Each structure stands twice: as C-alpha cells, then as structure tokens.
Amino acid sequence: MSIKIIHVIIGLNVGGAEIALKRLIFAHRHNSSYFHQVISLTTSGKIGNDLRIDGIKVTCLGLNSFANIPRVFFQLIKILNAEHPDIVQTWMYHANLLGGLAAKVAGVKKIAWGIRNVSIPQSFFSLTNFLVLSSSLLSYFIPNIIICCANSALEFHSKIGYCSNKMIVLNNGFDLSHSTKKDQYRAEIRSILKIQDDEFIIGNIGRVDSLKDQRNFILAAKSIGKKFCNIKFLMVGRNIDWQNSILSKWLLESGCSEKFLLVGEQDNVFKYLSAMDIYCLSSRSEGFPNVLCEAMIMRVPCVSTSAGDASTIINDSGIIVPISNPLSLGLALKSLILESSEYRREMSERAFNRVVSNYSLHIYSTKAANIYDSLIN
C-alpha cells in the first residue's frame, strides 16, 4: 500500500524549493510505495508543466491577492477532504501557514512543514515577517515535523522561536548524470557565446536579488578584470540583462563592462556551468545554495562566500571567504586563477566526489522516504 503525499507550495516557477520538489517526485516515479500530488496556491509555472508532462497531478488555486486567501483556503480544505492524503507536505512560509492550517482543519493526521530561508529580507511590518512570527507559534501545534533544507535554516528558525524538537535537516539532492556531458555542454555554450578557447570564464548564477549580492561579484571582478586580459565574467539568472538599470549601472561603474556576458534565466544551468573555469557564489544570505552542488557536479572549482551552508557543502574542495567582502572575494578568485590547471582539476575532482558522497539524488530521495515512513509508522 502506497503512502499518499500531497505537496502544497506557493508557486511552481523555477526556484530552489520548486526544483527540489520536482527532483524528489521524479526520484520516486518508479517507487510504488509513494504517490505524490502537488497543489500550487498560485499558478503552474515551468515546474508545474514539467510535473504534468511526467503524469503528476498538479492543481493550481489562483491565489493572486490578499482578498483571495479565504477562497483559496476553503478550496484547499475541500481538495484535502476529497483526496484523503496520508501526509501533507508544505513548502515555504506561505504554504506552511495556509496549507498547514487547511490540512489541520481537513483532519490530515501527518503534516510536514518545509523551511528554506536563513533570514527575513522584508521589514518588521511586512506580511512575510508576520507569517514567520505567526508560524513560529503555530509550529508547536500544526506540523508533526519541520523539514529544513540546511543546518543554517534550522539554527536560524530555532533562534526565532520555532519548535526545535520537530526540526530536522534534509539537504537537497542532485542528478549526477549531467557530469558525463561536460565536454559536450562546454563546447556548445562557448560556441553560442563566442568564447575563445584561450578565454578564462568566471561565472555567477542567480536571480537579481540583494541577498544574491551580484554587486559583490561585480566589485570582485573589477579588482581582477584589468589584470588578466583573457578573463571574462559570465552571469546567468532572472533579470540578468542589460535592460536591468541597476545591474547595468554597477557594470558600467566597474570600468570593465565589456568583459561581462549577461545571458538571463536559463533552463539548463549545467550547460552554462560547464562553460566556466571557476564558479563564484557572491551571496550574503543562502539556505542550501543548490548552485554550488551543481557547479561541483560539473567539476568546476568554486569560490564562495560563507553564506548559509556553503562552508559545509564545499568543505576542503573550494575556497570560502566572508560575506559582503569584495576584496576578499577578488583575492580568492585571483589566487585560484594563478594556480595551475592541474591544481584546479584536483580541486574540482574533490568537489565532485563530495557531492557523490553527500548530496546525490539517491541519498536525498532515500532520506525523504525514511521521513515519510517514520511519520506513518
């Protein structure tokens, strides 16, 4: 008899939580012990379409304003009453509160919350902050378990009052098969972007966001861009383009804007990682930075700030610097540029093996299955 899990998430556009959900469901596609469905509180998005193509039932409730919350809440209760899930698993603050309360009202016995943040970027009087503070109190009554994607997320939420006895860490998992396509991907993207064979590429991936701190990356790039004539900087992510006025201003102020390649949001980041010689994570805040593991899978040596669980992920297979310190970031990048290609290759092999040992999709899906089994049994 299979365990029926309904996942409730705010939306299904491309993002860390959404990708983690997709990978989990796909990893269980041939395991009849677990049956997954998904409810998006808003719209479908690319991840929702991918799930539907794979035969997963996805329901979208169309939440688009504060006034719609009552309708969506009662619709959610109605669906849960009709579906009779064994477990409701919610993803991120809005879904934790709305989905958790609806599951409780619908009589669902096992509720799992999901936490992915390590900070609250909005102001004290924001809706998000209200949700976080409300959820810290309700965490003692609604969920049976609180699944955190990172140790840093668990520590942060314990400090602000979440029920620490219910909290566990389930790190994200990754498909290792992309690693076999590195040479193919590298040739393809370098050809598309007209990158010469002798050009050295330092990359940064992430949507434009103060927490991703692209300005930190640009300032670090400025410190080394003029010293190495064959270096270029590849930036990938939502709103990473020259039409972004703030980003364009930072690039022009760097004095080396001609060295930057901006390619916007891309479906397959593994391809773009393969085109890089060093990956740089510049964030000031992260939970579990997926992109570090993705770079490590593609055997790209990493320089990263200490945001979130970055230090734990990289360990001795890359370089860690303080957050919001472009001087340190630039010096770390420079030191790795000056190392031999053999040194960088050995570093990237250690990085790949670290993902294999700790963050593979098999490990992730197995741990998730153990959580489901422990809730039911």
Q: What is the mean pLDDT of residues 28-57?
A: 95
The pLDDT, as a whole number, for residue 302 is 98
Q: Mean pLDDT across the stretch 193-219?
A: 96
Given this model, what pLDDT does residue 377 score?
84
Average pLDDT over residues 351-359: 98
Three-state secondary-structure class, residue 304: strand
Lowest mean pLDDT segment, chosen from 9-23, 191-205, 239-253: 9-23
Average pLDDT in the chain: 95
125 pLDDT exceeds 90? no
Is the pLDDT at 88 greater than 80? The verdict is yes
Q: Which stretch of 6-10, 68-72, 135-139, 222-226 has the lowest confidence by average pLDDT? A: 222-226
With 70 as the cut, is the pLDDT of residue 123 above it? Answer: no
CA atoms of 137 and 130, how far apart (whole Å): 11
**Per-domain residue ranges for the chain?**
3-173+360-376, 176-358
Mean pLDDT of 142-165: 96
pLDDT band with cut points at 50, 70 and 90 for residue 132 = confident
User: Strand 34-40's sheet: what is its strand order?
Assistant: 58-60, 34-40, 3-9, 87-91, 110-115, 145-148, 167-169
Q: Where are the alpha helices (DSSP H) in the chain?
A: 16-27, 45-53, 69-83, 93-105, 127-138, 151-159, 182-192, 214-225, 245-254, 269-274, 290-297, 310-314, 326-338, 341-358, 361-376
* Identity of the amino acid at 206: G
Residue 373: pLDDT over 70: yes
Residue 374 has pLDDT above 90, yes or no: yes
CATH number for the 3-173+360-376 domain, one of 2.40.30.10, 3.40.50.300, 1.20.81.30, 3.40.50.2000? 3.40.50.2000
Model confidence at 340: pLDDT above 80: yes
At residue 128 the predicted structure's pLDDT band, cuts being 50, 70 and 90, is confident
Instruction: Tell me if 3-173+360-376 shares its fold with 176-358.
Output: yes
Residue 352: per-residue pLDDT = 98
With a cut of 90, say whether residue 126 has pLDDT above it: no
- 250-294 pLDDT per residue, tens: 999 999 999 999 999 998 999 999 999 999 999 999 999 999 999
* Position 131 confidence tier, pLDDT thresholds 50, 70, 90: confident
CA-to-CA separations, 106 to 81, 109, 168, in angstroms, rounded = 6, 9, 25
What is the three-state SS of 13-74?
CCCHHHHHHHHHHHHCCCCCCEEEEEEECCCCHHHHHHHHHCCCCEEECCCCCHHHHHHHHH
Q: What is the pLDDT of residue 121?
A: 60
Give the separation between CA 301 and CA 350, rounded to whole angstroms.
9
Q: What pLDDT, on a 0 to 100 scale, did the predictor assign at position 1?
A: 76
What's the CA gap between 365 and 377, in Å, rounded? Answer: 18
What is the dotted CATH code of the domain comprising 176-358?
3.40.50.2000
Rounded to an integer, what distance in angstroms lies between the CA atom of residue 89 and that of residue 99? 8
Average pLDDT over residues 36-44: 97
